[in-house]
Structure 1
Amino acid sequence: MGKGDIDSIDKTMPATVPFFSDPAKRSILFQLVAMLIIGLLGYYLLTNTMANLERQAIATGLGFLEKESSFEIGESLISYSAADTYGRALLVGVLNTLIVSFIGVVLTVILGTFIGVARLSTNWLVSRLAAVYIEVFQDIPVLLQLFFWYALFYKLLPSPRQALNPAAAIFISNRGLVFPVPASHPAHKYMAAAFLGGCLCVYLLRRWARKRQARTGKVFPVFSVSVGILAGFPVIVWWLAGTPAAMDVPALVGFNFEGGVNISPEFGALLLGLVLYTAAFVAEVVRAGIQSVSHGQTEAAMSLGLKPGQVLNLVILPQALRVIIPPLTSQMLNLTKNSSLAVAIGYPDFVSVAGTTINQTGQAMEGIAMMMVVYLFLSLTTSAFMNWYNKKTALVER
């Protein structure tokens, strides 16, 4: 074998790289060392904390969740009394936080989109009013807005005996808005199931209509058909169940109303403050997203004979979503976390209920840990949904 053959073999054989000279192996080692240090630090903090708690004779663990709470909660989506456990009380707080966050996010997106589009209106008055709204509500801290609406409701609205009665069985007072609702009936759960089935049908219909439009160019009236499905399915179930029409009508008993549904001033002030504040930021997000779309897209759409509403819905917004969704996700998370300010105006959200639990049981670590876990779960769930929606609406270049 000649020297040339040996040189060719040496060139084809992989060179042995020392461990610390290999970036991939070195990075793995550094990550393992970092994980070990963090683990040891966490173990030290945990053992030190447990030892200090034991030295101070402070109870630990989640056993308190099975004990009687012994405090009332003003608003609850599920049945609750002071005889129930701390676990059920915390569940009530979580549900209260969820309902105000969900309704707040929906209303914020609707209002923020409307204000953002109005901000770009060619009508000078509409554009200026939208700009004033954005500047005013962005520059006032949300906590002050909550105090303002809460005080406004209690100062301007009359007592229950002098409650405003704008329509039959609807009363507005400083105890809240009270209105009648259908009395409990077994058919209602089937109507709710029919509505959810209608939502699934609408989703499948929209997918089919888009594919049909892309294939044939024909536009299917999705909106009107969807409204008919969502309203028609529950009505059909209601009719098949015998058309139950009994109503739970509120009535003044003593110094307050009984019956119907009561939207408290605390809930109204919290929802109004969060929505108006966050919608101002969402409006700017929507405005920036719309302005990111090239003006040539609008001119091309108008040249095809599309109406302004069609241009906005079919051309501008689908392209603007890729810019709107990431900052919109942040604003949705901000609204959910800002709902913890409810404790300032007396609305029993999760932070308020957990705070009362901590004061009664003395188990602050567990209570604070549960707050962190609940808000972390809400934030991660919202982010996961918005990331999925972002991928779904992403423009794919072909």
Structure 2
Amino acid sequence: MAEQNSSRGTGSTAGGRSGSFLNDTRVRAVLYQILTIGAVVAIAAYLVNNTLTNLAARDIATGFGFLEREAGFDISESVIGYTPADTYGRVLLAGLMNTLKVSVIGIVLATLLGTIVGIARLSNNWLVAKFASVYVEGLRNIPLLLQLFFWYALIQTALPHPRDALQPLEGFFLSNRGFRFPYPVWETGWTLALVGLALAAVATWWLNRRAGRIQGETGRRPNVIGPAVALFIGLPLALWAVAGAPTAIDVPELTGFNFRGGARVTPEFAALLVGLTLYTAAFIAEIVRGGILAVPYGQTEAAVAIGLRRGLVMRLVLLPQALRVIIPPLTSQYLNLTKNSSLAIAIGYPDLVATANTSINQTGQAVEGVAIIMAVYLTVSLSISAFMNWYNGHIALRGGRK
């Protein structure tokens, strides 16, 4: 009897310990996470296995080996050199560069336009404020795809054919085939000139930082504008001259029903850029307006009281403080513009999605093609977010000081 009671007591104790182990919230939390991860991995493994089985049953090749095969199709424009004899990997790279080109230019233009319109909405001039309000409310509430169709159709119908092209200056032609203009025959001198511009920008940034440090120590700010202008003009010219000072210019000319030579802005690129810029600028304008209104009005009163003009109040007092409110939502708009550029396929601009779609149609490897598109947009979006988060942290107040 004693042994039975002892064994029962031991069992009861073990059961109690087991129950207390499962009742621990931390243990349950870890257990639930393990079970959730296991379920996700199992579902993913099932989907991958099912996909590979179906592809094998249809005799469809898998993997990314197709990227090394010849593409065999041309695209209307490319930032980098590309011919139909190049590989699928090359044409996808060309599409990515086209996407980055329109995204970067669109972000810059939308930021400038959105800032101007946002400030205009706060103007004391009734007509300026109402015009800015109509612009914001109108463009924000029209789907972007319809706006792209509108701008593309406008360019195609409002501009003349190449034979009747508008010619504002000698060598410049504007028609429904795009805008053609003279362009230097690219040689080493022009590459070095661009390097000079980049070096001048870095040197100007360093001079500006140095001037700010000296101003904080002495109260006097050294002149930066003069040296900056000299750097931006002198350094590129010097490098251009060292490389032989190339001056050959490729001038466009009409041959048959279209132009050849020079550089061009295609109708597809122009319509996409205008649509993305105007649409995104409408949202940025509201972000800028809200950021300015978030600054206490006492800041404006104090600036006016010491004799600052309205323009200086906005530039030196309100915008620097509003920037800390503006940056986080502005990041979202930059991401939206980059992702909205995928609508380029609707008007024939050869961006990443368009080139990948043609590659998928020719190779039948849809899974790999879509995976490449998703990976690229994810990488670009995370890069933009990382940069904007860094900048937001750079301008954030620390301990009551910048």
What is the TM-score of this pair, normalised by structure 2? 0.91
**Structure 1 residues 60-75: aligned runs within 5 Å:** 60-75=62-77
The correspondence for 2:173, drawn from 160, 171, 174, is: 171
Moved more, 168-177 or 242-251: 242-251
Q: Which amino acid aligns with 1:60?
A: T
The separation in 2 between residues aligned to 1:177 and 1:30, in whole angstroms, is: 61
The separation in 1 between residues aligned to 2:134 and 2:226, in whole angstroms, is: 35
Contact 1:319–1:395 (CA<8 Å) still a contact in 2?
A: no
The correspondence for 1:319, drawn from 296, 318, 321, is: 321
The 1:301/1:73 distance shift into structure 2, 3 A limit, reads same
The separation in 2 between residues aligned to 1:20 and 1:208, in whole angstroms, is: 62
**1:333 aligned partner:** 335
The separation in 1 between residues aligned to 2:346 and 2:76, in whole angstroms, is: 15
Q: CA deviation at 1:50?
A: 1.0
The 1:232/1:19 distance shift into structure 2, 3 A limit, reads farther
Q: Does 1:346 align with 2:348?
A: yes
The separation in 2 between residues aligned to 1:224 and 1:29, in whole angstroms, is: 66
The 1:32/1:230 distance shift into structure 2, 3 A limit, reads farther
Q: Does 1:181 align with 2:187?
A: no
**1:230 aligned partner:** 232
Q: Does 1:153 align with 2:155?
A: yes
Q: Does 1:35 align with 2:37?
A: yes
Q: CA deviation at 1:224?
A: 5.3
The separation in 1 between residues aligned to 2:285 and 2:233, in whole angstroms, is: 31
**Structure 1 residues 143-292: aligned runs within 5 Å:** 143-223=145-225, 225-292=227-294
The correspondence for 1:95, drawn from 97, 101, 119, is: 97
Consecutive unaligned residues in structure 1, runs of 5 or more:
1-17
Contact 1:69–1:86 (CA<8 Å) still a contact in 2?
A: yes
The separation in 2 between residues aligned to 1:110 and 1:231, in whole angstroms, is: 24
The separation in 2 between residues aligned to 1:223 and 1:32, in whole angstroms, is: 61
Alignment deviations for residues 203-253 of structure 1 (CA, whole Å, 9 cap, x no partner): 212222222233333344445543442233212222333432221111112
Contact 1:175–1:256 (CA<8 Å) still a contact in 2?
A: yes
The separation in 1 between residues aligned to 2:368 and 2:63, in whole angstroms, is: 7
The separation in 2 between residues aligned to 1:28 and 1:323, in whole angstroms, is: 38
Contact 1:133–1:280 (CA<8 Å) still a contact in 2?
A: yes
Contact 2:192–2:243 (CA<8 Å) still a contact in 1?
A: no
Please tell me the root mean square deviation across aligned C-alpha atoms, in Å: 1.7
The separation in 1 between residues aligned to 2:229 and 2:95, in whole angstroms, is: 34
Contact 2:208–2:224 (CA<8 Å) still a contact in 1?
A: yes
Contact 2:173–2:181 (CA<8 Å) still a contact in 1?
A: yes
Alignment deviations for residues 294-320 of structure 1 (CA, whole Å, 9 cap, x no partner): 011111122233333332222211111
Q: Which amino acid aligns with 1:77?
A: V
Q: CA deviation at 1:57?
A: 1.7
The separation in 1 between residues aligned to 2:227 and 2:26, in whole angstroms, is: 57
Contact 2:189–2:241 (CA<8 Å) still a contact in 1?
A: no
Q: Which amino acid aligns with 1:194?
A: G
Percent identity among equivalent residues?
Answer: 54
The 1:289/1:177 distance shift into structure 2, 3 A limit, reads same
Q: CA deviation at 1:139?
A: 1.4
Q: Which amino acid aligns with 1:344?
A: A
The correspondence for 1:391, drawn from 390, 393, 397, is: 393
Q: CA deviation at 1:39?
A: 1.5
The separation in 2 between residues aligned to 1:124 and 1:212, in whole angstroms, is: 43
Consecutive unaligned residues in structure 2, runs of 5 or more:
1-19
SS for the counterpart of 1:262 is strand
What is the TM-score of this pair, normalised by structure 1? 0.92
